[in-house]
Copies of this chain bind each other. A is one copy, B any other.
Amino acid sequence: MTGEEMHALVERLYPLCRSITGDGVRATLGIVGELLELDVHEVPTGTQVLDWTIPKEWNIRDAYIKDPAGNRVVDFQRSNLHVVGYSVPVSATMTLAELRPHLHTLPDQPDLVPYRTSYYAETWGFCLSQNTLDGMGEGPYEVVIDSTLADGHLTYAEHVVPGRTGDEVLISCHVCHPSLANDNLAGIAVATALAGRLRDPRHTYRFLFAPGTIGAITWLARNREHTGRIRHGLTLACAGDRGALTYKRSRRGDAPIDRAMAAVLRDRPHTIVDFSPYGYDERQFCSPGFDLPVGSLTRTPYAGYPEYHTSGDHPGFVSPQAMADTLEALWSAVEVLEHDGRYQNLSPYGEPQLGRRGLYGSLGGRSDTKQAQLAMLWVLNLSDGEHSLLDVAGRSGLPFRAVAEAAAALEGAGLLKRVGEGA
């Protein structure tokens, strides 16, 4: 998928009213399912998942605040952000004073509508811009939320690209946010594109499309034994804004995925931050009982931009170029995970004579030794069975790709033997 195709997917998913349960999630997975084969799971309300319980399913058809003149001052049909997620039904006539405790605005960003939810405390509310609120008279207002909160299911989906080994790479993105483009339709689009690009990989790649927090917890509860297969993982969010890439390390801090991402990002503008137990579903994957090697890839991180969790996070806020760039970085990470390994130099005493094997230029004295030749010298020097190619890339400062190609050339010449997995 090109950046433009990913952006088109974001635009198509944008209007749907997603939440942690309900038909918006199902419709979203239906659209992704046109592009990827998905296993869709439905988990009933009341199911115990780790320390949590699957909540009632929430669905909504309409909601509005109508002024005395009959105008919809706040209208769910214009934006699903206008209703607090998981609002219980309401149908009443109220003065502004009565309504006021149920209204949420952003006084410092008076043009924007905030995103709010109340999953685990039954209430209702509307989100609107401060400007709209400032223009509202005393009322009375007709206040309607036509929603249902009832036993049902939590929905999530998996797409698996089987690998030649049982070792798994987990790519997870949350699918519970309503009309917010960067958070996380861009993440869904990039994950979908990455899944479509994998061909016969060494690792098995598992893509998880699940509601945030409760969805990840549900998956973990149902796959507790399975988690031992996960060798590397990433949560993917905020993948389309114009900021530079940010990688947040796993709880372990020095897992292979942490080192792979550092190598991938080294030559681009980027930020790397240590693990912290808030943000996206890395919170769950990195809880101490699981402690999985799962980091988080975003562009501008969680809560790091003014449009975060507001109506400013619309499809115009994300760009095809940025999503393509996120995908390329992910692809480079996949290359590292696929090709990393530990090698043994089979001619470790002195340098082997590369020239007679056609691996080295014959004219001496020049100082502009080429990257490919440097990469071979580095791989030979560090291939003592303990250093991985990722180590070689890190220590040499050479791109991982050049190091992997050097290793392949040396293996082809009989000078190198693979002896183990990457570190």
A residues adjacent to B (C-beta < 8 A): 50-52, 85, 114-121, 123, 213, 216-217, 220-221, 224, 251, 274, 276-278, 283-284, 286-291, 302-303, 308-309, 345, 347-353, 355-356, 362-367, 369, 374, 377-378, 380-384, 395-396
Please determine whether A348 and B381 come into contact, CB atoms closer than 8 angstroms: no
Please determine whether A290 and B349 come into contact, CB atoms closer than 8 angstroms: yes
Please determine whether B118 and A287 come into contact, CB atoms closer than 8 angstroms: no
Across the interface, A350 reaches (CB within 8 A) one of B120, B287, B352, namely B287
Chain B residues positioned under 8 Å from A50 (CB to CB) = 347, 349-350
Residues A363 and B117 in contact in the complex (CB < 8 Å), given A287-B348, A349-B290, A374-B278: yes
Across the interface, A276 reaches (CB within 8 A) one of B51, B220, B350, B396, namely B396
Complex-state Cα separation, A104 to B291, whole angstroms:
60
Please determine whether A350 and B217 come into contact, CB atoms closer than 8 angstroms: yes
Please determine whether B364 and A118 come into contact, CB atoms closer than 8 angstroms: yes
Complex-state Cα separation, A336 to B265, whole angstroms:
38
Across the interface, A362 reaches (CB within 8 A) one of B121, B377, B381, B382, namely B121
Chain B residues positioned under 8 Å from A85 (CB to CB) = 364-365
8 more A-B residue pairs beyond the given contacts A52-B353, A309-B366, with a C-beta to C-beta distance below 8 A: A51-B353, A85-B364, A116-B366, A118-B362, A217-B351, A278-B374, A288-B345, A288-B382
Among A52, A274, A350, A374, the most chain B Cβ lie within 10 Å of the Cβ of A350
What are 18 sample pairs from A and B whose C-beta atoms fall under 8 A apart?
A50-B347, A51-B350, A117-B365, A118-B362, A216-B350, A220-B350, A251-B381, A277-B380, A278-B369, A278-B374, A284-B351, A287-B349, A287-B351, A288-B345, A288-B380, A290-B349, A303-B367, A309-B365
